A and B are shown apart, each in its own frame.
Chain A
Amino acid sequence: MSEQSLKISGLAASVAGNQILSGVDLEVRPGEVHAVMGPNGAGKSTLSHVIMGKPGYEATAGSVTVDGVDILSLPTWQRAQTGLFLAMQYPTEVPGVSLDDMLSNSFNASGRSTDGLSDALASEADRLAFGREFLERPLNVDMSGGERKRNETLQLTVLKPKYAILDELDSGLDIDALRVVSRRVEAATNEDQLGVLVITHYNRLLSELKPDRVHVLAGGRIAASGGPELALELEASGYADYAEPGAA
């Protein structure tokens, strides 16, 4: 039995021919929360997109495995079906497609029963203080930034992946919403042993969602790793210490 983890090894990636990541190593085990922080342009979102296989983001070296399964050779939907979830920074509007339709199709593809899906959506919406009327809306259409992030979290809790990447989940959320969403994700780490990779620019989210490990992504690789105290240091001193040589 291979080791249970989301394991990123020596991952290099380029976008439109420009190398953005040049050897990222990270390992998230079930129930753990890892935070990836870094200055703007460090490649934080590129990391999430490469892991999920977004078109245009090309892994050029290294590997990403989910519980031992190499996912870089898989199409995006199969990566998701291995138990990986990406909460997007800017969730896309999909007119005319309901949450229920999308999740039913996802469940069907993996042979999961859709019995109880509607109930699960309703009870999870309640838990996230997300109005049930939003369940009827087409995906992300006419939703505020905060509503979209609750919607992302709702999908996470219903799909029940093994590992979730939360890309700037805090952007667009007010402080109350941030607390509700963080608590729900934290509960999933305890109840379902969800492994979490949080990508964030600010410490705000991490004061709610306590990370086990904090990593600084700079210059296309992990420049430093530490405990939660590292996030506090960054809050105080900024990312200047990790600026690339020669960078302004």
Chain B
Amino acid sequence: MNERFSPDVLDSAAGLSARSGRADAAAAAVTTGLPTTETEEWRYSPISDSDFVELLNGLSPVLAAPSADAVERAEQYRQTVLERFESIAASVLILDGYVVDVDVDPGWAAKGLKLEVDQDRWLAAEPSEPTKFDQLHQAFSPGAIVIQSSGQVAITDPVVVVTHHESPSTLSCPHLVVEASEAGELTVVEHQTSAAGAGLQLPITELVAGKASRLRYTVVQENSEDHVQIGRQLSSVDGQASLTSGVAAFGGRYLRLRTDSRLIGRGANASLIAAYYGDGDQIHDFRTFQHHEARDTRSDLLFKGTQDDRSGSIYTGLIHIHPDGAGTNAFQTNRNVKLSDEAWAWSVPNLEIENNEVHCSHASTVSPVDDDQRFYLHARGVPPTAADRLIVAGFYDEVLTRLPSEAARQRVQELINTKLDRRIGNQADEA
């Protein structure tokens, strides 16, 4: 680690609260090694120490809140996103990890929607084996935005969060907490963007679905092509509650997302979906956990991705049925379409079952565009590039229909089409 991450810098960090644990985490981050493929956790990830050493050596933490000018410039990103929504309950702008603006509709505020910045917040439960990135987050995160419903109110308009990483060569640590109250309903849509050269982002998202609540969260990641993101999503779903979590990953050079979904109350239900599409040299790296800790819980995970050019993806997932998880239904499906010979995909689903009264299934595929589907469209007079475009776009249909936000769905459709158009453009150049 370079000296810019030394615990000493915290003493003069105007933007960071003096919460406990910061300095210890910063000190730990100095000595904790980088993840290696020797560990199960990172086994399939094509990371090397040297990649991260080089990246981290060039970075600085963001120690002060962004200037008013910077906030004003970032407003455009929020406005662009907000234009896609017909109505919203609130919006949040996060810049370089700092919550710089919160705007709540008074009507929804009166009905119990609350958004608060909590500068002292760290994870309620520490990760059992914190990585260097967790420690960096704990040390340098300016705090969390906490979005809560209260009472048995359905907040039917979405809360829109725009997370932008702007400052060059920095480490940013956004922290988003979404809590649906008992029998409440809450929808949050996050859009992530970054400027070229911004560096490394370590987002943490906590989703807490109280008893009998409905919580819907979607994140659409369209970071710049040199951006590195290593994120965590931690969710817990209580009895009779339902969580839908959608991830759409299109940007970045390397994206790593670990999701831990805990079903902690009887009858809890989680729908976990992702659409990702890599081209150029992008890498999308997902590690998922579905923890069934209570009776009669259900989780249904569907991750679908495309790999073009030299890009690659990793999916490793574990369904873990705890001894108390009788009556669990748990599904895990990962499907990949590989569009070029140089592209690659690992797909490794796993089960760990400690109770026998359960229904579990897992499936994974990595394959090129289906020849029979191609032939069918060609035989109807559709030219090859158009046919592949239709088939690949259609491949995501199942995921898109499950995304819990119409505006996000439309945006993801656009992002898929942009990728496919670029592909067709590249092919035309080669022809």
Contacts and interface: CB of A to CB of B under 8 A. Distances in A.
Contact of A77 (B381, B390, B397): B381
Interface residues of A, number: 32
Interface in B357-412: 370-373, 375-384, 386-387, 390-391, 393-398
B386 to A, nearest CB: 5
B409 to A, nearest CB: 13
Contacts of B371: 55
A77 B382 contact: yes
Given A94-B391, A96-B398, A97-B394, A105 B386 contact: yes
Interface in A68-127: 75-77, 79-81, 85-86, 88, 91-97, 101-103, 105-106, 108-110
Interface of B: 370-373, 375-384, 386-387, 390-391, 393-398
Given A77-B384, A105-B382, 4 more contacts: A77-B377, A92-B370, A95-B397, A105-B377
Nearest to B396: A96
Contacts of A80: 378-381
A75 B384 contact: yes
A245 B383 CA distance: 44
Contacts, number: 86
A229 B264 CA distance: 73
Given A77-B387, A105-B387, A106-B382, A94 B377 contact: yes
Nearest to B400: A96
Contacts of A204: none
B378 A76 contact: yes
A57 to B, nearest CB: 10
A190 B48 CA distance: 70
B301 to A, nearest CB: 18
A109 B386 contact: yes
Given A55-B371, A96-B398, A81 B379 contact: no
B397 A55 contact: no
B390 A97 contact: yes
A36 B384 CA distance: 30
Contact of A96 (B386, B387, B395): B395
B207 to A, nearest CB: 28
B396 A159 contact: no
Contacts of B370: 92
Contacts of A95: 394-395, 397-398
A132 interface: no
Nearest to B399: A96
B374 to A, nearest CB: 8
A92 B380 CA distance: 12
A86 B376 CA distance: 9
Contacts of A93: 373
Contacts of B373: 92-94
B303 to A, nearest CB: 16
A8 B378 CA distance: 21
Contacts of B396: 96
A156 B221 CA distance: 42
A109 B379 contact: no
Contact of B394 (A52, A92, A96): A96
A109 B382 contact: yes
Nearest to A52: B379
Nearest to A90: B372
Nearest to B375: A54
Contacts of A200: none
Nearest to B371: A55
B375 A76 contact: yes
- 8 closest Cβ contacts across the A-B interface? A96-B394, A96-B397, A106-B381, A80-B381, A76-B378, A97-B394, A92-B376, A77-B378
